[in-house]
A and B are shown apart, each in its own frame.
Chain A
Amino acid sequence: MSKASLSKLGDAAFERTDKVSAELLALTYGSFVRQLLIDYEDAEEVNAQLAKMGYNIGVRLVDDFLAKSNAPPCASFADTADIVAKVAFKMFLGVPALVGSWSSDRRTFSLVFTDNPLAEFTELPEKWGGVWYSNVLCGVIKGALEMVQMEVDARFVRCTLRGEDLNEIRVTLLQVLQEKPPVDDE
Chain B
Amino acid sequence: MNSARPPPHKRQVAESSLDFLMMQVVTYFLHGPGAAAYVPPVPSAVPDGNALPPPPLLSPADAAAAAAETRRRLEGVGYDVGHRLVERYAVEKERMDSDLEAVKFVCRDFWEGVFKKHVDVLRTNHKGLYVLTDNKFRWLGRVWADEDSEEGGAGAVGADGAEVGGAIGGRGKPEDYVVFPCGLICGALTRLGVRCRVTAEIAGGAQCKFSVQVIGG
Chain B contributes a number of interface residues (CB within 8 A of A) equal to 35
CB neighbours of B113 from chain A (8 A) = 21, 24
CB neighbours of B77 from chain A (8 A) = 28, 31-32, 35
A32 to chain B minimum Cβ distance, whole angstroms, is: 5
Within 8 A of A (CB), among B1-51: 1-2, 5, 8-9, 11-18, 20-25, 27-28, 33-34, 37
Please state if A57 and B15 are interface contacts (CB–CB under 8 Å). Answer: no
CB neighbours of A95 from chain B (8 A) = 2, 5
Please state if A92 and B14 are interface contacts (CB–CB under 8 Å). Answer: yes
Contact of A19 among B1, B12, B27, B114 (CB under 8 A): B12
**Separation of A120 and B8 alpha carbons in the complex (Å):** 8
Task: Kindly state whether residue B67 has any CB partner on chain A within 8 Å.
Answer: no
Please state if B20 and A57 are interface contacts (CB–CB under 8 Å). Answer: yes
Tell me whether A61 and B12 are in contact in the complex, defined as CB-CB below 8 angstroms, given that A23-B85, A39-B34 are known contacts: no
**Separation of A23 and B114 alpha carbons in the complex (Å):** 10
Contact of A17 among B14, B21, B85, B114 (CB under 8 A): B14
**Separation of A20 and B28 alpha carbons in the complex (Å):** 23
Task: Kindly state whether residue B80 has any CB partner on chain A within 8 Å.
Answer: yes
CB neighbours of B16 from chain A (8 A) = 17-18, 61, 64, 92
Tell me whether A94 and B25 are in contact in the complex, defined as CB-CB below 8 angstroms, given that A49-B33, A114-B2 are known contacts: no
**Separation of A114 and B3 alpha carbons in the complex (Å):** 13
Task: Kindly state whether residue B123 has any CB partner on chain A within 8 Å.
Answer: no
CB neighbours of A91 from chain B (8 A) = 14
Task: Kindly state whether residue A56 has any CB partner on chain B within 8 Å.
Answer: yes
With CB as the reference atom, state the residue of chain B lying closest to A18.
B15
Task: Kindly state whether residue B84 has any CB partner on chain A within 8 Å.
Answer: yes
With CB as the reference atom, state the residue of chain B lying closest to A49.
B33
**Separation of A91 and B17 alpha carbons in the complex (Å):** 9
Please state if A22 and B14 are interface contacts (CB–CB under 8 Å). Answer: no
**Separation of A20 and B17 alpha carbons in the complex (Å):** 9
Tell me whether A14 and B33 are in contact in the complex, defined as CB-CB below 8 angstroms, given that A25-B21, A53-B28 are known contacts: no
CB neighbours of B76 from chain A (8 A) = 35
With CB as the reference atom, state the residue of chain B lying closest to A58.
B20
A90 to chain B minimum Cβ distance, whole angstroms, is: 9
What band does the interface of chain A fall in when counting residues whose beta carbon is under 8 Å from B? 35 or more
**Separation of A94 and B81 alpha carbons in the complex (Å):** 21
CB neighbours of A29 from chain B (8 A) = 21
Please state if A27 and B85 are interface contacts (CB–CB under 8 Å). Answer: yes
Please state if B11 and A57 are interface contacts (CB–CB under 8 Å). Answer: no
Please state if B14 and A18 are interface contacts (CB–CB under 8 Å). Answer: yes
B13 to chain A minimum Cβ distance, whole angstroms, is: 5
CB neighbours of B14 from chain A (8 A) = 14, 17-20, 91-94
Contact of A32 among B12, B15, B25, B33 (CB under 8 A): B25
Please state if B15 and A17 are interface contacts (CB–CB under 8 Å). Answer: yes
Please state if B80 and A94 are interface contacts (CB–CB under 8 Å). Answer: no
B residues in contact (CB < 8 Å) with A? 1-2, 5, 8-9, 11-18, 20-25, 27-28, 33-34, 37, 73, 76-77, 80-81, 84-85, 88, 113-114, 116
Which 6 A-B pairs rank lowest in CB-CB distance, beginning with the nearest? Answer: A22-B11, A19-B12, A18-B15, A31-B80, A53-B24, A57-B20
21 A-B pairs with CB atoms under 8 Å apart are A19-B13, A19-B14, A20-B14, A22-B8, A25-B21, A27-B80, A28-B81, A31-B77, A32-B28, A35-B34, A49-B28, A53-B24, A53-B28, A56-B24, A60-B23, A61-B20, A98-B1, A114-B2, A117-B11, A120-B8, A120-B11
Other CB < 8 Å A-B pairs besides A17-B14, A24-B81, A39-B33, 12 of them? A18-B14, A20-B13, A24-B18, A28-B22, A35-B77, A49-B33, A53-B28, A57-B20, A60-B23, A93-B17, A95-B5, A114-B2
